Amino acid sequence: MHPTETKQVIIQGGMFGEHKIKRVRQVIDYPYQFYTVDNKSFKLTLGPGAVGQVEIDIERFANSPSYKFLWD
């Protein structure tokens, strides 16, 4: 993302948060390590010049769609 700064990215399950993110797996460095989320979103911290790949397990249509911002 940025060559010298750490950045945080919010990842949401669906455009309106209608999907529940169950688990996240960082594919390249830790292929057998899962993080349980059980929420409609999570925050991912990317180090300087980070490159990676994540797999996200979701439960589709588990939440009611909402226009509410994640930071509200």
Q: What is the pLDDT of residue 61?
A: 97
pLDDT of residue 42: 94
pLDDT computed for residue 67 by the predictor: 93
Domain limits of the chain? 7-59
Radius of gyration of the chain (CA): 13
Nearest to 24 by CA among 60, 65, 54, 61: 54
- For 31-60, what is each residue's pLDDT tens digit? 778 999 999 999 988 889 888 888 999 999
Confidence (pLDDT) at 40:
94
Its pTM stands at 0.82
> How many residues are there in the chain?
72
